[in-house]
């Protein structure tokens, strides 16, 4: 069965490029969610005028990958802490957040975060927000599949 998940973890270009390589992910769309402005633009999101995060909406086949496995991939793709080492580039649109559609997803996210906090994997505590999913606004076309369109390799630095 095809399901949907929404995550925010920094620049959506890199997050999308990484999720496209996860077995079981059917499609991805980058966009904005978690704010207060209808139909936000990239310019307004970057100016921190909308409250939205840069996010990725993922369609996945839950017979090939579980929601828990998607969360584990999500956490491996970014630093979900606000340690001194990464806080210099923090802006609210780049916050770490999981947008849950139901209580089961919320419980799974809480369990994964608790496990990671107790694992010693991170120097600092995870600050990823768990929020109810709301309206997801797809980003402008030039943001979709950005790495592919600009022939950026996953190991390349793109400034985000």
Active site (catalytic) residues: 11
Order across the sheet with 129-132: list the strands.
Answer: 129-132, 96-100, 2-9, 53-61, 25-33, 137-138
Rounded to the nearest 10 degrees, what angle do helices 67-76 and 12-19 cross at? 130
Which of 64, 19, 31 lies closest to 133, judged by CA?
Answer: 31
C-alpha to C-alpha distance for 25 and 73, rounded to whole angstroms? 11
CB 52 within 8 A of CB 34: yes
Tokens representing 55 are 């996010």
């Amino acid at each position: 069965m095809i399901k949907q998940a929404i995550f925010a973890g920094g620049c959506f270009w890199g997050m999308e490029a990484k999720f496209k390589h996860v077995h079981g992910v059917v499609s991805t769309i980058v966009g904005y969610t978690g704010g207060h402005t209808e139909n936000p633009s990239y310019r307004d999101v970057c100016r921190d005028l909308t409250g939205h995060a840069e996010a990725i909406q993922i369609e996945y086949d839950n017979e090939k990958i579980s929601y828990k496995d998607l969360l584990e991939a999500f956490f491996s793709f970014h630093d979900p802490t606000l340690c001194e080492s990464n806080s210099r580039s923090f802006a609210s649109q780049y916050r770490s957040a999981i947008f849950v559609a139901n209580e089961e997803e919320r419980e799974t996210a809480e369990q994964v975060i608790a496990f990671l906090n107790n694992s010693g994997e991170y120097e600092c505590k995870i600050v990823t927000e768990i929020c109810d999913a709301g309206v997801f606004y797809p980003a402008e076309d030039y943001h979709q599949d950005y790495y592919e369109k600009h022939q950026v390799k996953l190991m390349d630095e793109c400034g985000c």
